Amino acid sequence: MNENPYFPNLALITSIRDEVGGDRAIKTFQTRFVNGNNFTFKSGQCAMLSVFGKGEAMISISNSPFTKDFLQFSILKSGRVTSALHNMENGSIIGVRGPYGNSFPMEKWKGRNLIFIGGGIGLAPLWSVLKTALVNKKDYGDLMLIYGARTSKDIVFKDELYDLRSEMTVHLSIDKDESGWNEFVGFVPENVKSKVSWPQNSIAIICGPPIMIKFVISTLAELGFEDEQIYTTVENKMKCGIGKCGRCSIGEHYVCTEGPVYSWAELKKLPQEY
């Protein structure tokens, strides 16, 4: 690896999959480093992707560290860089640097039940930790995924979610009823309330829009979860990824180096600047 922390390593896009269409389109990209050099990462970490000429964007890595031959990113089309990524094709070259940030404390969770709670694109960072937990399934108790999207069309990883049911409990939801939908209808916190009944010895991991995270946390608290049992990820605008440029700061923390994974017990102590 290059010693310059700002240096983007060239990577080839090896596959692009459409997840969601429309104005808030989501695509999943797999990349392979051109020079074969790679970085090892942990679930929860992010990478800074470059579209040359457009700039950089910090994106969470959505595959498990156990799949070593590629990096996977699920990206919501949102601004200049992500739109440019959406316009790319198989075989295009991008820059990748990282990995950045802390990771989910999966060692600490051993022996616990894991409840993954996601909304929309929030399934992407969860996917890495979820897949890793599945590999080491015997280390953990029961595994459960509660995932919701606005409509059935907004659900990401549809095929994988289908396959996932053979390995763990999966509860899906959409905000408003649609014909042919036979799972939960309503917001994610409501689904959590109806499905989760075992706070003891459990860890809840939440990723999704800020408003969803907020309500899921209060729902979990009502169900008897302690702050230390709840984990989430924070995102703030980032430029450098190495704790210098200043913009992702929350209190004395830089999300890019000390985040993005926080237990609610930790996050609660920080000012609400995210």
Partner 1 sequence: MEVVIQRDSFPQLLEKLNRYNIWLPRKNGDYWEFKLSRGKESLDKKYTNTKLSPKKFVLPQTETLFQITEGENGKFNIDEKQKKDSLDIVFGIRPCDGVALSHLDKVFLNSFKDPYYSKKRDNTVFIGLACETPPFENCSCTTMGESPFSTKGLDILLKDIGDRYIVEYITDKGKKLFSGFPNLFGKITTKDKESLEKIKKESNKKIKKRVEDLSETTKKLDIMFDSDLWFHESQSCINCGICTYLCPSCHCFDINDEQLSKKPLNVKRVRTWDNCQFPIFTMHSSGHNPRPDKQSRYRRRIYHKFSYFYKTEGEHLCTGCGRCSNYCPAGINIFETLQKVAEYE
Partner 2 sequence: MVHIEDIKKEAKRLLKEKKIKYLIGYKRGTNGLTALPTFIKEPEDTDELIWEASCIQNLSRYLVEEKKEQLKNKAENTLPVGIIAKACDTRSIAVLLQEKFLERKDIYIIGVSCEYGGVIDQKKIKKKFRGKKPEKVIFDKTNNLLIGTKFGNIKVPAEEILAERCIECKSTFPLLCDDVFGENVKRKISEHFNSIKEIEELPAESRWEFWHGHLEKCIRCFACRSVCPMCFCTECVVDPIELAVTNESTAREKAEKVKWIERSTTATDNIIFQLVRTLHLAGRCIDCGECERVCPVDIPIRLLNKKMEKTALEKFGYESGFDINMPSLISNFKDEDPQDFIR
Q: Does 83 bind partner 2 (CB under 8 A)?
A: yes
Which of positions 58-77 make contact with partner 2 (CB under 8 A)?
A: 77
| Residue placing its CB nearer to partner 2 in the complex, 209 or 224 | 209
Encoded amino acid at 24, one letter: R
Q: Does 236 bind partner 1 (CB under 8 A)?
A: yes
86 neighbors 77 (Cβ within 8 angstroms): yes
Helix axes 210-222, 188-195, angle to 10 degrees: 20
Task: Give the integer Cα–Cα distance in Å for 62 and 274.
Answer: 22
Site string for partner 1, 56-85 (x = CB under 8 A): xx--------------------xx--x---
Residue pointed to by tokens 């946390």 = 217
Q: Does 84 bind partner 2 (CB under 8 A)?
A: yes
Q: Does 14 bind partner 1 (CB under 8 A)?
A: no
Give a three-class secondary structure readout of 171-195: EEEECCCCCCCCCEECCHHHHHHHH
Q: Does 251 bind partner 1 (CB under 8 A)?
A: yes
Number of chain positions touching partner 1 (CB under 8 A): 43
Q: Does 80 bind partner 2 (CB under 8 A)?
A: yes
Q: Residue 250: which of partner 1, partner 2, none does it interact with, CB under 5 to 8 A by kind?
A: partner 1
Please give the radius of gyration of the chain, using alpha carbons only, rounded to the nearest integer: 18
Considering the complex, what minimum distance in angstroms separates the CB of residue 84 from partner 2? 7
Question: Strands 55-60, 71-76: parallel, antiparallel or unpaired by DSSP?
Answer: unpaired
Which of positions 182-211 make contact with partner 1 (CB under 8 A)?
A: 210
Q: Does 24 bind partner 2 (CB under 8 A)?
A: yes
Q: Residue 23: which of partner 2, partner 1, none does it interact with, CB under 5 to 8 A by kind?
A: partner 2
Q: Residue 243: which of partner 2, partner 1, none does it interact with, CB under 5 to 8 A by kind?
A: partner 1
250 neighbors 239 (Cβ within 8 angstroms): no
Positions that interact with partner 1 (CB under 8 A): 2-8, 10, 50, 52-57, 78-79, 82, 91-93, 95, 210, 235-237, 239-240, 242-247, 249-252, 257, 271-274
Residues at the site binding partner 2, with contacts judged by CB under 8 A: 23-25, 77-80, 82-84, 86
